[in-house]
Amino acid sequence: MRAIRGVYAIADTGVIPPQGFASTVARALAGGVQILQYRSKLTDRRQRLRQAAELAALCRRTDTLFIINDDVHLAAEVGADGVHMGRDDPTVEYARAVLGDKRLIGLSCYNELSLAIEGFQRGVDYVAFGSFHPSTVKPDAVHATPALLQRARRCLDLPIVAIGGITPENGAALIKAGADALAVISAVFATPDPRAAAARFSALFTQPE
């Protein structure tokens, strides 16, 4: 399994309209997205399964890692590369039992290094911190700082994802502080040109330090 690094785009059904959902995501992938997460709070299970299956097929064609948010069984059903878990989701052990050892498990750690250390001990494959900047998707999210990334980098042998209000203008500082990947939603999918927006983020990972 490839490492978590680069542009981590989150295809959120609350941001991307259902009409042309997959084609919008495809444009973003063409801009250099390395990891795609499907995030949906829709109650219609059939629609979620259809969208997830479409994105899984798209990611296989484009060699993009595909992660499902929260839903371990949906991840297994569509053959995703892994699942991303939050504080209120099933346990890491449960996800591992369902998905096996060859799928990725990511963990949201908010602004708590202790959660990341615990996740590492329980066998997660990457951790995510945030929100680093005000977020329109999660306006009430706790605030994380670049110093947290620096501390995590020193004590964790895991890929680290930064999330929350990240733009091409503020993302470079987070990479410098220790983020391996930048998770973005609105900054890519709420723009007129998702491909160009993703390309701007992708360029941050090729700049000389």
pLDDT tens for 60-94 read 999 999 999 999 999 999 999 999 999 889 899 99
Q: Specify the pLDDT at position 66.
A: 98
State the pLDDT at residue 8.
Answer: 98
Kindly report the number of other CB atoms within 10 A of residue 198's CB atom: 26
pLDDT for res 80: 98
- For residues 90 and 80, give the distance between their C-alpha atoms in angstroms, rounded to a whole number: 17
Residue 202: predicted pLDDT: 98
Q: Residue range 13-28: average pLDDT?
A: 96
Q: What is the pLDDT of residue 181?
A: 98
Residue 209 pLDDT: 58
Q: What does the pLDDT look like over 91-114, one tens digit per residue?
A: 999 999 999 999 999 999 999 999
- Per-residue pLDDT of 35-53, as tens digits, reads 999 999 888 999 999 999 9
The conformation of residue 112, written as its DSSP 8-state character, comes to -
Q: What was the pLDDT predicted at 3?
A: 83
pLDDT given at position 140: 84
Q: Burial-class residue 133 by CB neighbours within 10 Å (0-12, 13-18, 19+).
A: middle
Per-residue model confidence as pLDDT tens digits over 118-161: 999 999 999 999 999 998 888 888 999 999 999 999 999 999 99
Give the containing element (helix H, strand E) for 163.
strand 160-163
Q: Catalytic residue numbers?
A: 39, 108, 138
Q: Is the pLDDT of residue 1 over 60?
A: no
Secondary structure letter of residue 141 according to DSSP: P
Structure tokens given for 70: 């929260």
Structure-token pair, residue 121: 């001990």
Nearest 5°: phi and psi at 145?
Answer: -125, 160
* Residue 92 neighbours by CB under 8 Å, 6+ apart: 85, 105, 107, 119, 122, 123, 124
Whether the pLDDT of residue 176 is over 60: the answer is: yes
Listed in sequence order, the DSSP H helices in 79-127 are 92-99, 113-122
Cα 131 to Cα 52: distance, rounded to the nearest angstrom = 25
**Burial of 184 (C-beta count, 10 Å sphere; 0-12/13-18/19+):** buried
CA–CA distance, 38 with 51 (Å, rounded to integer): 9
* Cα distances (angstroms) measured from residue 100 to each of 25, 56, 60, 93: 27, 18, 19, 10
Please give the domain boundaries of the chain with CATH numbers for all domains.
6-204 (3.20.20.70)
